[in-house]
């Protein structure tokens, strides 16, 4: 069965992407902060033409495919995602090469649902280092 929580980054990573300028409009998955009993909890919702939550209580949650689209905005760049094992532990490595030179490499232990978090961390580093812009402006 499809579990959208396995296809989008954690709330914390989505909030960081928002701080860096990720547009918060349009159709797609959103983390929504809701009051449940006496506590606030984040729940994942799919919005299609539906302005459900007040802006400060929702955060856009990009899917793995949507995250990968930002990598394609890099000019003269190549992105590789590699899965490998060290002993019994599975790992994922994401490399971004631009004009033949490595500009970023992230390797970490991989578990189910972890790829969106890894891709989000790579995207955050690319934005922080000035290689990608999350707004509608053109990438460098």
Higher pLDDT, 62 or 3: 62
Number of domains within the chain: 1
pLDDT at residue 112, rounded to an integer: 57
Residue 139 lies in a domain: no
Higher pLDDT, 4 or 9: 9
Q: Which has the closest alpha carbon to 105: 93, 123, 92, 87?
A: 93
Q: What is the mean pLDDT of residues 81-109?
A: 80
Q: What is the mean pLDDT of residues 49-70?
A: 77
pLDDT in tens, 110-136: 765 578 888 898 888 888 888 777 774
Residue 137 lies in a domain: no
Residue 136 lies in a domain: no
| Domain region containing 67 | 4-128
Give me the residues paired with residue 34 across strands.
Answer: 41
CB 94, CB 84: distance < 8 Å: no
- Using CA atoms, how far apart are residues 62 and 42, in angstroms rounded to an integer? 15
């Amino acid at each position: 069965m499809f579990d959208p929580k396995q296809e989008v980054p954690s709330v914390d990573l989505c909030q960081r992407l928002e701080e860096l300028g990720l547009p918060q409009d349009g159709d797609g998955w959103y983390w929504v902060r809701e009051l449940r009993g006496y506590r606030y909890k984040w729940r994942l919702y799919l919005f299609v033409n539906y302005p459900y939550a007040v802006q400060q209580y929702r955060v856009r949650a990009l899917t793995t495919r949507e995250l990968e689209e930002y990598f394609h905005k890099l000019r003269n760049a190549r992105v590789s995602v590699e899965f490998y094992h060290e002993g019994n532990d599975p790992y994922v490595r994401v490399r971004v090469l631009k004009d033949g030179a490595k500009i970023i490499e992230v390797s970490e232990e991989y578990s189910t649902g972890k790829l969106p978090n890894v891709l989000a961390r790579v995207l955050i580093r690319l934005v922080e280092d000035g290689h990608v812009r999350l707004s509608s402006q053109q990438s460098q």
